[in-house]
């Protein structure tokens, strides 16, 4: 395993796109403090329940067949942008990195769980800015995945049906306050979104 300091850095969104295009094996992205912190145990934990998961949670970069001949750049941008909130939610030093591995199972958010992980490259923070620009250029309103932290109110509390305290999933559109690189949800465990965090 290369030391984190020795891993190449993908400095542009197009660098990530080129890597996905030319790599035969499936690539994944994980938001964490890096391989040195993750690969000792190679497992994640479900943030909601504390249950250990059988592999590292990640977000797949592989293009799905239904995407057809649409731009690979937009696909990659969306995969990176959807989970950029993990940079903020998981604390200082958390950043995205690309890896390969063998998929063992799926986590509670249907994220791939990997074993036999091999680090590939870091993704520079500026790439996430580019991904946001790419996503914001689309016609639909979109924002990173972000779950509300409030629990649903108990039955009979008077809240609910959209009232105060109701659990919701927030997806603000691009350009709305609080939506930008590092804000929103992403691959990870339950309670934070899919792959790449716990």
Q: How many helices (H) and strands (E) does the chain have?
A: 5, 8
pLDDT at 127: 97
Supply the pLDDT for residue 2: 57
Per-residue pLDDT of the chain (198 residues; tens, 9 = 90+): 455 668 999 999 999 999 999 999 999 999 999 999 888 777 788 878 888 899 999 999 999 999 999 999 999 999 999 888 887 887 888 999 999 999 999 998 899 999 999 999 999 999 999 999 999 888 766 555 554 443 343 344 343 333 322 223 333 444 443 333 333 333 443 333 444 555
pTM above 0.75, yes or no: no
Model pLDDT, residue 174: 42
Residues in the chain: 198
CB 121 within 8 A of CB 160: no
Instruction: State the pLDDT at residue 182.
Output: 37
Q: Which of 156, 147, 144, 35 is nearest to 100 (CA)?
A: 35
What integer pLDDT is reported at residue 101 of this predicted model?
A: 95
Spatial CA neighbour of 72 closest among 101, 171, 80: 80
């Amino acid at each position: 395993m290369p030391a984190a300091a020795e891993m190449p850095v993908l400095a542009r969104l197009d660098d990530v796109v080129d890597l996905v295009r030319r790599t035969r094996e499936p690539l994944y992205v994980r938001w964490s403090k890096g391989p040195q912190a993750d690969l000792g145990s190679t497992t994640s934990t479900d943030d909601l329940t504390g249950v250990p998961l059988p592999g590292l949670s990640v977000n797949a970069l592989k293009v799905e067949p239904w995407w057809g001949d649409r731009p690979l750049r937009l696909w990659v941008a969306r995969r990176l942008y959807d989970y950029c909130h993990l940079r903020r939610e998981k604390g200082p030093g958390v950043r995205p990195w690309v890896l390969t591995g063998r998929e063992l199972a799926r986590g509670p958010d249907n994220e791939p769980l990997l074993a036999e992980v091999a680090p590939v490259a870091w993704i520079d923070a500026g790439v996430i800015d580019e991904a946001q620009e790419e996503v914001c250029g689309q016609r639909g309103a979109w924002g990173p995945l972000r779950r509300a932290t409030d629990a649903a109110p108990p039955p009979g509390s008077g809240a609910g049906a959209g009232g105060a305290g109701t659990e919701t999933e927030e997806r603000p559109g691009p350009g709305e306050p609080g939506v930008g690189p590092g804000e929103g949800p992403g691959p990870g465990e339950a309670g934070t979104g899919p792959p790449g965090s716990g």
